[in-house]
Structure 1
Amino acid sequence: MKIDLKELFENDKEFEAEYNQVKGKIKDYSKYEGHLYDSADILLEFLLFDRDISVRLERLYLYAHINNDLDLSNTHYQNYLIMMMNLINEIRELSSFVSSELLSKDLDYFEKLIEENSHLKEFFLSMKKLFRNKKYIKSKEEEKIISILTSTYNKPSEISEYLINTDLKYGFIKEGGIRKEITNSNMSNFFESSNPKIRKDVFNKVYNEIKAHENTFASILSAEIINNNKIAKLRGFNSSKEYSLYQDEIDPKIYSSLIKGVRNNLDKFFKYFAFKKKALNLKTMHIYDTYANITEKYNKKYSLKEGLDIIINSLSILGKDYTKVLRKAFENNWMDTRIIKNKRSGAYCTCCYLTHPYVVTNYEEKLNDLSTIAHEFGHAMHYYYAQKNNSYQDYGYSIFAAEVASQVNEIILTDYLLENTNNKEEKKYLLDLTLQRFKATVVRQTMFAEFEDNLHNMEQNGSPLTKESITDEYLKLNKIYFGNNVYVDDKIKYECFRIPHFYYNFYVYQYSTGYVAAMKIANDIINGKKGALDKYLEFLKLGSTKNPIESLMVAGVDINNSKIYDEVFDVFEEKLKELKKLYE
């Protein structure tokens, strides 16, 4: 399926015309400087102007971003993306006065202005969030400097993406007599192979290539961490983690509780590897063996049409309106599933307020690809409902809440497939997939979160981030989180350089907390718990009208309760027992 971007722009000419219009309009920011509080009418005029720029900018960026990702070697769309980044940075500099000027007053003053012009009420929630940041906003000149620095500090993430997705060459592997190139898109297929030699050879080829660039990677990753810590310090936060979590209104205790909760339950998790080692008939289970399928007899393929029908049928439990929108998305090409050269690996969903959501993925007809589409359309439907029920300034939900809807879809899909098969091998595969997903999303992402936190703390405490200190820390954590039933090969330490989210700022922990919340929501809906579906659909509509913790409470989840981690690991153990019974 080829994505249709015509709702964004009909063609490049239309994109460029809109780009030029927006670029010409942004100079008007200067006329408001020093005058935002001249009157309620002037403030409203500015807020509407700023919203118009933001809405149009979002649409422009999406067009450049998606086209660039469809062919990372296409210099034409690389140039569009560079144009957009430059425009964003220019707007950031031109509007750098806004926060400090708005914060020269307080929320009470803004509420008085609402009495003078009731239309300002539409911006109350966004202004409330801004005033929450008042003590961390600097003077006008300081904000301008930070704005300029931020555009430079974003470079490590951009550089790492090109290095990982276009410059690394992993070589070729022979499978079934066919010589195949190893890429980021198909790498997971080789690690899932029933042939241990293929798993081993691909592992060595991949990490030998990354090792050859370890100095470059270490420099990029350390620059990202240094930048994060510096920005946090400039803002007045005690740490980069505190700064990142504060923006989403998340107490750092939740981050610590996650790591502690997962670590305290690792003994339950290690039982899985003991079982899998036996199921795979391995004398030694290497870390690259942990991804292997436990059954050779099940390798079902799903055509795209068949896969989309299964997704719609499985998610029909979420109601007629939900599936109606899904059908519309599939029929109108909101998604790109093609496997083409130089396309960005992996999958994602993105959105702008003026159009429907978009999904980009690489579909290879495996169950994992089916799950990925369900996952990304969890995001898409979350965007869709939030967009339809909120104004622009209130539709963008937090990242912390974002990973819930996607995981709910995956859990419901797997349960549907298990309930609709009598094939023993398929049940084995699906149960193992459930356990693998738990490993990848709860355990592994928590390991990533601890690694990210440790590196930032090391740098903040004056320890140099060298290729040795970075990779040694990653290797140490792998040994802790994989346990004694797995031989943790030394080369896995280079994996840290190819994890894209390490070049962002404290993102990965939300995969774990999101999956934990999703397990409760999905199970309540599947089991027909009274009110569960209505609560969940209400959660999808909230946008940013409530903070993430309050939003989850609407959905029936209390993530503050540390017992939730014991409960999900208990569910993991039960699924493992079900799988073991199939081998008796």
Structure 2
Amino acid sequence: MSQLPKRSETSAEHCWNLEDLYADQAAWDAEYAEVRKKVGEVSRFEGKLKDAAAIAECFELEDALSLLTERLYVYANMRHHEDMAEGKYQSLSEKAKKLSVEVNEALSFITPEILSLSEDELKGLIQAPSLKPTYRRTLEEMLRQKPHVLSKNEESLLAQVGNLSQAPNTIFGMLNNADMKFPKVKNEKGEEVELTHGRYIQFLESRNRDVRREAFKAVYDTYGKWRNTLAATLNANVTKNLFYANARHYPSALEMSLFGDNIPQSVYDNLIGTIHKHLPLMHRYMALRKKLLKVDELHMYDLFAPLVDEFDMNITYDEAKKIVFDSLAPLGDDYRHALQDGFDKGWIDIYENEGKRSGAYSWGAFGTHPYVLLNHKDNLNSMFTLAHEMGHALHSYYSDDNNPYRDAQYTIFLAEVASTLNEALLMDYLLAKSTEAKEKMYLLTYYADQFRTTVFRQTMFAEFEKVVHAKAEAGESLTPQELSEIYYDLNVKYYGDGMVVDKDIEMEWARIPHFYTSFYVYKYATGFSAATSFSKQILDEGKPAVDRYLGFLKSGGSDYSINILKKAGVDMSTPEPIEQAMSVFESLIEQMEQLTSK
């Protein structure tokens, strides 16, 4: 079907059931009016947050307001995502956004006011027997943050600097997405087409090596022409991080970024150190890639080239549901019962329609089941997306079901674990069922490349960020040459002597948007490693590991992320989960080597 159906033409059985959130528009409007009324009640607590009774009452109102606002916001935006061109829901989404800002502003005095109490007064409040455990945790977290919160005037000044601090990211975004123009290159048919960010990835996945090489060189030549501006922009971002770390009394920018989730720096350092130890595995995979591509030299532009002749796995949505359901049998009946509910009871918006938001996500509001947006195509990738998003959805389902509102929200550090674990179990199931060598090889390369891009590449990014910030903190300059040299040397270290590390790659630092959300990328690698560790334990041990894993899903955000994982049997403060992930990667390479030697 070349023409996408309109939303009104989409079958109801393929759409999510948002009536579970609000029966109709009138119900949304009534709750909106209720929030507007409740916002006015908040100010009566201002200047009164000195004893446990007042704080508990204020927190209760804060929770009620936050939950209702979240419900209104989620519903309005999910309606908007059904058809982004539909004016009615565009304006509803804007209305919800404005309300959310208004509510946040009304509640903004709470934390500074409580933090103005002395440390002893705060400790006394935490001991108050009348306080619910969830409120006690909030106060404990405030006490932990207290050394890094400044006086009212200083905080006001930092808030005003907030817009300035967005400048490096904004400038990079405009330069990268709007101003930078790439030249025309030849596609597989020999036609001249303009190179864009989206087409670049497609060209790197081309079977035609000339197409890959030309696109690669064109992209980095273009970034090279802007090297001074891009280095100045990245420098400004690093300077901003150093300013905030200094102003808030953190030892370094890295420790400041880890503090929010209470992650010890050893987790970051362990990741880099353990991956260094296992770089020979990456080098071995590169040697295998070279052999499979039948090339004399493996270049950087060969890293995304397909390793297996065209292999088309046509999987309908109904087949994908069944395979995902069967593959998650190791997680037990309770998990699969909830999964089946998700499939049957209007959680999922399945197919693309005209104007629908692209991509996929899991979302929802506390007190109602989660929702999943897909744009399903009948292929392997879409089946993995289904498994991934249902992993997020069931994490939210268990978390909401077992925690009060305030403790239900889990961190981003934990979020990717539940989704990636489902993918790992699905992959294990498909590999065990696969009988045809070509299919098996296709699956193995798909999985091995996830290790390469999610664990090794993101760790290399994380190391680059650490090195660059350490140099700036030591007072060293970060010239374009310096940045390029650091980045190039890391590529040589990670990919090894067995491949040609093209000089052009030294400019790749200039096109990574994540470097403007500093010290974030390591979470991809730790999440993937934790999920791989869980899947290995579940497949090796069975029920005891499953019980620990379900305990992890049920914990939500009721403790610090590192403690929640540790209780479930994955201790990210040690190298062990990364070691376990590496043993899985090694077994993939061994299976691929066996298949190629036949």
Corresponding residue to 1:275 among 279, 288, 299: 288
Rounded Cα–Cα distance in structure 1 between residues aligned with 2:143 and 2:262: 13
Q: Aligned with 2:362: secondary structure?
A: strand
Deviation at 1:576, TM superposition (A): 1.0
Query: Any conservation in 2 of the 1:59–1:354 contact (CA below 8 Å)?
Result: no
What is the aligned partner in structure 1 of residue 61 from structure 2?
49
Rounded Cα–Cα distance in structure 1 between residues aligned with 2:428 and 2:360: 22
Q: What is the CA deviation profile of residues 451-510 of structure 1, one whole-angstrom value per residue up to 9, with x for unaligned ones?
A: 222333344444455655544433332222122223233443444444443232322112
Query: Any conservation in 2 of the 1:156–1:224 contact (CA below 8 Å)?
Result: yes
Deviation at 1:538, TM superposition (A): 0.8
| Amino acid corresponding to residue 226 of structure 1 in structure 2 | T
Q: Which stretch has the larger CA shift, 162-171 or 272-281?
A: 162-171
Rounded Cα–Cα distance in structure 2 between residues aligned with 1:548 and 1:78: 36
Q: What is the CA deviation profile of residues 19-70 of structure 1, one whole-angstrom value per residue up to 9, with x for unaligned ones?
A: 6764665454443221112x44322221112122322333344456667778
Q: Which stretch has the larger CA shift, 162-171 or 264-273?
A: 162-171
Q: Which stretch has the larger CA shift, 18-27 or 490-499?
A: 18-27
Q: Aligned with 1:572: secondary structure?
A: helix
What is the aligned partner in structure 2 of residue 284 from structure 1?
297
Deviation at 1:578, TM superposition (A): 1.4
What is the aligned partner in structure 2 of residue 326 from structure 1?
339
What is the aligned partner in structure 2 of residue 138 from structure 1?
150
Rounded Cα–Cα distance in structure 2 between residues aligned with 1:94 and 1:210: 44
Deviation at 1:516, TM superposition (A): 1.9
What is the aligned partner in structure 1 of residue 141 from structure 2?
129
Rounded Cα–Cα distance in structure 2 between residues aligned with 1:57 and 1:150: 24
What is the aligned partner in structure 1 of residue 4 from structure 2?
none
Rounded Cα–Cα distance in structure 2 between residues aligned with 1:193 and 1:500: 24
Cα RMSD, aligned residues only: 3.8
Query: Any conservation in 2 of the 1:549–1:559 contact (CA below 8 Å)?
Result: yes
Rounded Cα–Cα distance in structure 1 between residues aligned with 2:83 and 2:180: 16
Rounded Cα–Cα distance in structure 2 between residues aligned with 1:361 and 1:166: 28
What is the aligned partner in structure 2 of residue 516 from structure 1?
529
Q: What is the CA deviation profile of residues 429-463 of structure 1, one whole-angstrom value per residue up to 9, with x for unaligned ones?
A: 11222211111121111111112223333444444
What is the aligned partner in structure 1 of residue 113 from structure 2?
101
Q: Aligned with 2:555: secondary structure?
A: coil
Check 1:79–1:166 CA distance in 2 against 1; reply closer, same or farther (3 A cut).
farther
Rounded Cα–Cα distance in structure 2 between residues aligned with 1:482 and 1:356: 44
Rounded Cα–Cα distance in structure 1 between residues aligned with 2:315 and 2:333: 24
Rounded Cα–Cα distance in structure 2 between residues aligned with 1:214 and 1:2: 47
Kindly report which structure 2 residues correspond to 1:303-314, keeping only aligned pairs within 5 A, or say none. 303-314=316-327
Corresponding residue to 2:47 among 34, 45, 51: 34
Rounded Cα–Cα distance in structure 2 between residues aligned with 1:258 and 1:495: 22
Rounded Cα–Cα distance in structure 1 between residues aligned with 2:564 and 2:526: 13
What is the aligned partner in structure 2 of residue 573 from structure 1?
586
Rounded Cα–Cα distance in structure 1 between residues aligned with 2:32 and 2:225: 41
Query: Any conservation in 2 of the 1:2–1:338 contact (CA below 8 Å)?
Result: no
Give the alignment's TM-score, normalised by structure 2.
0.83
| Amino acid corresponding to residue 278 of structure 2 in structure 1 | N
Q: Does 1:266 align with 2:279?
A: yes
Identity %: 34
Check 1:56–1:274 CA distance in 2 against 1; reply closer, same or farther (3 A cut).
same
Q: Does 1:408 align with 2:408?
A: no
Query: Any conservation in 1 of the 2:80–2:93 contact (CA below 8 Å)?
Result: yes
Query: Any conservation in 2 of the 1:89–1:148 contact (CA below 8 Å)?
Result: no
Q: Which stretch has the larger CA shift, 85-94 or 325-334?
A: 85-94
What is the aligned partner in structure 2 of residue 58 from structure 1?
70
| Amino acid corresponding to residue 269 of structure 1 in structure 2 | M
Kindly report which structure 2 residues correspond to 1:68-217, keeping only aligned pairs within 5 A, or say none. 94-103=106-115, 104-105=117-118, 106-115=121-130, 120-150=132-162, 153-154=165-166, 157=169, 174-175=187-188, 188-204=201-217, 206-207=219-220
Q: Which stretch has the larger CA shift, 349-358 or 405-414?
A: 349-358
Rounded Cα–Cα distance in structure 1 between residues aligned with 2:170 and 2:91: 14
Q: Which stretch has the larger CA shift, 334-343 or 565-574?
A: 334-343
Rounded Cα–Cα distance in structure 1 between residues aligned with 2:253 and 2:559: 24
Deviation at 1:544, TM superposition (A): 1.9
Kindly report which structure 2 residues correspond to 1:122-521, keeping only aligned pairs within 5 A, or say none. 122-150=134-162, 153-154=165-166, 157=169, 174-175=187-188, 188-204=201-217, 206-207=219-220, 221-331=234-344, 332-335=346-349, 338=352, 343=357, 347-360=360-373, 363-463=376-476, 469-521=482-534
Query: Any conservation in 2 of the 1:97–1:140 contact (CA below 8 Å)?
Result: no
Rounded Cα–Cα distance in structure 1 between residues aligned with 2:237 and 2:589: 39
Give the paired residue count: 579
Rounded Cα–Cα distance in structure 2 between residues aligned with 1:219 and 1:411: 41
Q: Aligned with 1:582: secondary structure?
A: helix
Check 1:313–1:191 CA distance in 2 against 1; reply closer, same or farther (3 A cut).
farther
Deviation at 1:541, TM superposition (A): 0.4
Rounded Cα–Cα distance in structure 2 between residues aligned with 1:262 and 1:269: 9
Rounded Cα–Cα distance in structure 2 between residues aligned with 1:67 and 1:504: 29
Q: Which stretch has the larger CA shift, 138-147 or 17-26?
A: 17-26
Check 1:462–1:124 CA distance in 2 against 1; reply closer, same or farther (3 A cut).
same
Deviation at 1:567, TM superposition (A): 4.4
Q: Aligned with 1:291: secondary structure?
A: coil
Deviation at 1:85, TM superposition (A): 6.6
| Amino acid corresponding to residue 425 of structure 1 in structure 2 | K
Q: What is the CA deviation profile of residues 70-112 of structure 1, one whole-angstrom value per residue up to 9, with x for unaligned ones?
A: 8889999888777777666665555443223223154542245
Rounded Cα–Cα distance in structure 1 between residues aligned with 2:480 and 2:93: 31
Q: Aligned with 1:130: secondary structure?
A: helix
Q: Aligned with 1:541: secondary structure?
A: helix
Deviation at 1:165, TM superposition (A): 6.7
Rounded Cα–Cα distance in structure 2 between residues aligned with 1:68 and 1:390: 29
Q: Aligned with 1:579: secondary structure?
A: helix
Deviation at 1:325, TM superposition (A): 2.8
Deviation at 1:401, TM superposition (A): 2.1
Corresponding residue to 1:538 among 540, 551, 562: 551
Rounded Cα–Cα distance in structure 2 between residues aligned with 1:408 and 1:82: 35
| Amino acid corresponding to residue 582 of structure 2 in structure 1 | F
Q: Aligned with 2:574: secondary structure?
A: coil
What is the aligned partner in structure 1 of residue 563 from structure 2?
550
Query: Any conservation in 1 of the 2:362–2:372 contact (CA below 8 Å)?
Result: yes
Unaligned stretches of 5+ in structure 1?
none
Q: Aligned with 1:249: secondary structure?
A: coil
Query: Any conservation in 1 of the 2:362–2:390 contact (CA below 8 Å)?
Result: yes
Structure ID, larger Rg: 2
Check 1:74–1:503 CA distance in 2 against 1; reply closer, same or farther (3 A cut).
farther
Q: Aligned with 1:349: secondary structure?
A: strand
Check 1:187–1:236 CA distance in 2 against 1; reply closer, same or farther (3 A cut).
same
Rounded Cα–Cα distance in structure 2 between residues aligned with 1:201 and 1:444: 23
Rounded Cα–Cα distance in structure 2 between residues aligned with 1:4 and 1:169: 43
Query: Any conservation in 2 of the 1:194–1:296 contact (CA below 8 Å)?
Result: no
Rounded Cα–Cα distance in structure 1 between residues aligned with 2:285 and 2:552: 33
Query: Any conservation in 2 of the 1:166–1:342 contact (CA below 8 Å)?
Result: no
Rounded Cα–Cα distance in structure 1 between residues aligned with 2:253 and 2:553: 29
